[in-house]
């Protein structure tokens, strides 16, 4: 039997029959009955472009139903799917394309000219937000020949997702078919996924949360997706009476809780609100419960391992905690040597399980740095575990900012800022922000007082995706350092903690 995860989806599709799979703005865009044929045509198009099993396909396109088909076709054809945030600039893309060495690159037609010089020997094809472009027009889209799903072994790669590093350089996390399938099957059970579930899907589909967790669960459940191109509180509330599940980052819940339209009545049909990717504030949890009667289920994960812990479905969901390690996942809170600390004591969370990735693409040294000899992965998150095994994430050992659920590594921003003429040095920190959770702030030491915030922001604008650019640049005469010469970021964070106070 093949380990290709697509085969699991096809099996469920055969049971679901004529049921809608994707509904967008009230219109059925895809039914389960048509899924296999259409994905087969897309897979044939990818093969027609020269894609062979194991080849990487780099995809930077707007969210669309066709983007979902492209993802499923890549799996089915045995390609390794490499999705990229649509906000990345061509300067950022160059690194990813170079590193992934893809056979096929898919981009928005508006970007074709900028990306062509970066794509080397790869076939470059296009797909726009409406699902049009040279890929969608490939002759295979009219094929009536059934496509045979490519055989894959459990450890064969299904996807590479780039995640930034503390050195400022992105690393590609290699995820196998079995990594993805095992995690999805566990979650389906854990969250009591049901065939009559209707999922509101408003997350981007270039990260684990929207691409794997949300899509895989709906497909495995044979459920219907209410598809949204992005987060729009009005549109989500309009879908809510007909839906049962929402997955979102905490910013979704902050914005919904602030909306007058969020009521017990509108959410009466919902059975599950899931939050993750960043810490959910206890105040958001409480506001949401007061307005709807629903207790948000918070879970914790990361690109390298998918979902790791979850609050229980039936048991108590405790705000400020991320619940228990999922079945099959082993977790320990450890000291610097990897030895487990006493329950209740903070330490770094280390994990192991079938969900754990295959390592960083072409970076065995980086993989080795984050692994213990006994196979545990060092997450870099500071956690506590209580006597029952319930985990709370209480901090980060890694220098990382999470804004609106997107990870931003200060080092990458500092390197770009330091290269701006007139900047002596910089320190980038995350400051509490009412909407995004954290926002990027740069403290800059400048050579000349005439160098202003706007000049720096415009100097970096084509090098960094907008979401990574500092919301504020503050100037200082020098940066506070400890005896070792290391910048004291905690001090800077304290000093500026009220910058965005509501």
Interface positions with ligand MCA (CB under 6 A)? 203-204, 207-210, 230-231, 249, 251, 276-277, 301-303, 403-406, 436, 466-467
Burial of 144 (0-12, 13-18, 19+ CB in 10 A): exposed
Q: Rounded to the nearest whole angstrom, what is the least distance from the CB of residue 233 to ligand MCA in the complex? A: 9
Does the footprint of ligand AMP cover residue 381 (CB under 6 A)? yes
Output the smallest distance, CB 102 to ligand MCA, in A. Answer: 22
102 or 279, CB closer to ligand AMP? Answer: 279
The two most distant CA atoms of the chain are separated, in Å, by 70
Q: Which two tokens stand for residue 261?
A: 């339209």
322 binds, among ligand MCA, ligand AMP, none (CB under 5 to 8 A by kind): ligand AMP
Nearest CA to 219 out of 2, 21, 7 is that of 21
Alpha carbons within 13 angstroms on the beta-carbon side of residue 139 total 2
Build a one-symbol-per-residue string for 115-154: x at contacts with ligand AMP by CB under 6 A, - elsewhere: ----------------------------------------
Q: Which long-range contacts (CB under 8 A, 24 or more apart) does 313-321 make?
A: 313/190, 313/191, 313/192, 313/272, 318/390, 319/280, 319/282, 319/285, 319/286, 320/282, 320/392, 321/390, 321/391, 321/392
Query: What does 384 bind: ligand MCA, ligand AMP, none (CB cut-off 5 to 8 Å by kind)?
Result: none
For the sheet containing 423-433, what is the strand order? 423-433, 437-446, 472-475
Q: How far apart are CA 429 and CA 442, in angstroms?
A: 6
Asked if 322 is part of the footprint of ligand AMP (rule: CB under 6 A), the reply reads yes
Tokens of 309: 């812990």
Q: How far is the CB of 136 from ligand MCA (least distance, A)?
A: 25
In the bound state with ligand MCA, the residue whose beta carbon lies nearer, of 104 and 240, is: 240
Residues across the chain? 502
List the one residue from 165, 222, 248, 301 that touches ligand AMP (CB under 6 A): 301
| Residue 313 interacts with which of ligand AMP, ligand MCA, none, CB < 5 to 8 Å by class | none
Among ligand AMP, ligand MCA, none, partner that 279 touches (CB below 5 to 8 angstroms by kind): ligand AMP
Binding-site residue total for ligand AMP (CB under 6 A)?
18
Single residue of 4, 64, 163, 384 touching ligand AMP by CB under 6 A:
163
Q: Are 114 and 91 in contact (CB under 8 A)?
A: no
Residues in the site for ligand AMP, rule: CB under 6 A?
A: 163, 208, 276-279, 298, 300-303, 322, 379, 381, 393, 396, 402, 407
């Amino acid at each position: 039997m093949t380990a290709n995860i697509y085969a699991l989806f096809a099996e469920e599709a055969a049971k679901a029959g004529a049921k809608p799979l994707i509904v967008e703005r009230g219109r059925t865009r895809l039914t389960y009955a048509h899924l296999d044929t259409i994905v087969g045509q897309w897979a044939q198009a990818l093969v027609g472009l020269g894609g062979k099993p194991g080849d990487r396909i780099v995809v930077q396109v707007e969210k669309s139903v066709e983007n979902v088909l492209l993802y499923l076709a890549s799996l089915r054809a045995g390609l390794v799917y490499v999705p990229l945030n649509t906000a990345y600039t061509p300067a950022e893309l160059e690194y990813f394309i170079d590193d992934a060495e893809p056979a096929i690159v898919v981009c928005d037609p508006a970007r074709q000219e900028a990306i062509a010089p970066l794509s080397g020997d790869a076939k470059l094809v296009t797909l726009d937000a409406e699902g049009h472009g040279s890929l969608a027009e490939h002759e295979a889209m009219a094929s009536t020949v059934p496509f045979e799903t490519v055989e894959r072994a459990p450890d064969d790669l299904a996807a590479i997702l780039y995640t930034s590093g503390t050195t400022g350089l992105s690393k590609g996390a290699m995820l196998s078919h079995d990594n993805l399938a095992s995690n999805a099957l566990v979650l389906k059970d854990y969250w009591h996924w049901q065939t009559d579930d209707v999922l509101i899907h408003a997350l981007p589909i270039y990260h684990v949360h929207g691409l794997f967790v949300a899509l895989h669960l709906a497909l495995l459940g044979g459920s219907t997706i209410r598809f949204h191109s992005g987060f729009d509180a009005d549109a989500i509330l309009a879908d809510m009476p007909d839906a049962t599940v929402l997955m979102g980052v905490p910013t979704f819940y902050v914005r919904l809780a602030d909306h007058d339209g969020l009521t017990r009545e509108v959410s009466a049909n919902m059975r599950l609100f899931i939050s993750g990717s960043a810490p959910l504030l206890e105040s958001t949890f409480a506001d949401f419960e007061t307005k709807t009667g629903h207790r948000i289920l918070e879970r914790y994960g990361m690109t390298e391992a998918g979902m790791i812990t979850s609050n229980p479905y039936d048991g108590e969901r405790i705000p400020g905690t991320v619940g228990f390690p999922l079945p099959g996942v082993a977790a320990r809170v450890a000291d610097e040597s990897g030895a487990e600390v006493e329950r209740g004591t903070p330490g770094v969370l280390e994990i192991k399980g079938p969900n754990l990735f295959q390592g960083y693409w072409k970076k065995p040294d980086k993989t080795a740095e984050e692994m213990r000899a006994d196979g545990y992965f060092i997450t870099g998150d500071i956690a506590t575990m209580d006597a029952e095994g319930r985990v709370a994430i209480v901090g980060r050992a890694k220098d990382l900012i999470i804004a609106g659920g997107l990870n931003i590594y200060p080092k990458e921003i500092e390197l770009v800022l330091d290269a701006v003429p007139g900047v002596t040095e910089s320190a980038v920190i995350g400051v509490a922000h009412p909407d995004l959770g954290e926002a990027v702030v740069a403290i800059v030491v400048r050579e000349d007082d005439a160098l202003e915030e706007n000049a720096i922001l415009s100097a970096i604008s084509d090098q960094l995706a907008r979401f990574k650019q500092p919301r504020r640049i503050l100037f200082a005469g020098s940066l506070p350092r400890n005896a070792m010469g290391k910048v004291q970021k905690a001090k800077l964070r304290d000093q500026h903690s009220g910058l965005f106070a509501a």
